[in-house]
Amino acid sequence: IDTSFNTFSNCIYLSINDGWDLSIKSSVRALDLKTGMMVEREDSCDTDTRLVEYHCEDGYMKERVAICPSAMICKDGVCVRN
């Protein structure tokens, strides 16, 4: 989990709180404390096997990169069977 994301506060879910579930796409909104602007992020594919996930934790937006399990690929922000 990238703790540098503490620059994004007031995090809320715009969709389901998936609890880092690789098979559910979620999106969040948070306040960028550097710019004062609201930003939105949603789970997305970095590569065909790497998933970038966003999550709210203690009011801050967090990000992590996960590798899809064996025999799965990343498609439209979720890991699916290949």
Q: What is the pLDDT of residues 20-35, one digit of tens each?
A: 889 999 999 999 999 9
Whether the Cβ atoms of residue 42 and residue 25 lie closer than 8 Å to each other: yes
Q: Does 71 have pLDDT greater than 90?
A: yes
Tell the burial category of 30 from Cβ atoms under 10 Å away from its Cβ (0-12, 13-18, 19+): buried
Q: pLDDT exceeding 90 applies to what percent of the chain?
A: 74
Alpha carbon of residue 24 to chain centroid: 10
Q: What is the pLDDT at residue 66?
A: 95
pTM of the model: 0.84
User: How many Å from the N-terminal Cα to the C-terminal Cα in the chain?
Assistant: 26
Label residue 4 by pLDDT band (50, 70, 90).
Answer: low
Q: What are the residues whose beta carbons fall under 8 Å from the beta carbon of 16, sequence distance 6 or more?
A: 24, 26
